[in-house]
Structure 1
């Protein structure tokens, strides 16, 4: 799920960088920054989330901890970007919450 959230953030970042007219608000209506800055933020966050997701698939504890932090920051960032594309941002916030849940709640067969 973390890799999927990262892929969605990469897509959002590329859309903000290459097609800022895709979003329905002008840059002044965003809570913070403009579309170019948000494009780089989402692109970097997406790459970090995808790499962390790969670490989670490898069973790394650091990746689980980092994934929770990145998903929390992404959820907050999606709140700031909410005016640009509300439905996508709400879905991304929900996905971030699910990622946090999946990384925090232990598997029922987990030992120790």
Structure 2
């Protein structure tokens, strides 16, 4: 799932950097960054999600921790991005929640 959420964030970031007309610009929103800023944020988070996914698949010790942090940050930024493109942000938020659930659930099973 990380390898799906990461590229989706990278695509969203590329569209934001290109100032695509896909996004709605709003005024008076508390998290009103420019589209280029949002694009850079999503691009960085997407790259971190992909790196965490590769680390998790490779069985690296840092993979699970980085994946949980990256999915949590992605969830928060997607929530803040909802007014710009809710049709994209809400499904990615659901995907991030599933990632967090899967990562924390498997950790709880190992503790038993």
TM-score, normalised by the number of residues in structure 2: 0.87
**CA-atom RMSD in angstroms:** 2.4
Distance in 1, Cα, partners of 2:27 & 2:49: 26
Alignment of 1:55-94 (within 5 A): 55-94=55-94
Distance in 2, Cα, partners of 1:24 & 1:34: 11
Distance in 2, Cα, partners of 1:76 & 1:61: 24
TM-score, normalised by the number of residues in structure 1: 0.87
Matched, 1:18 2:33: no
Distance in 2, Cα, partners of 1:5 & 1:57: 15
Alignment match, 1:2: 2
Q: Secondary structure at the match of 1:23?
A: coil
The count of corresponding residues between Structure 1 and Structure 2 is 112
Deviations 1:20-71 (A, max 9, x none): 3221224764724211011011111111110110000011231111111110
Unaligned runs of 5+ in 1: none
Unaligned runs of 5+ in 2: none
Distance 1:49-1:70 versus aligned 2 partners, 3 A rule = same
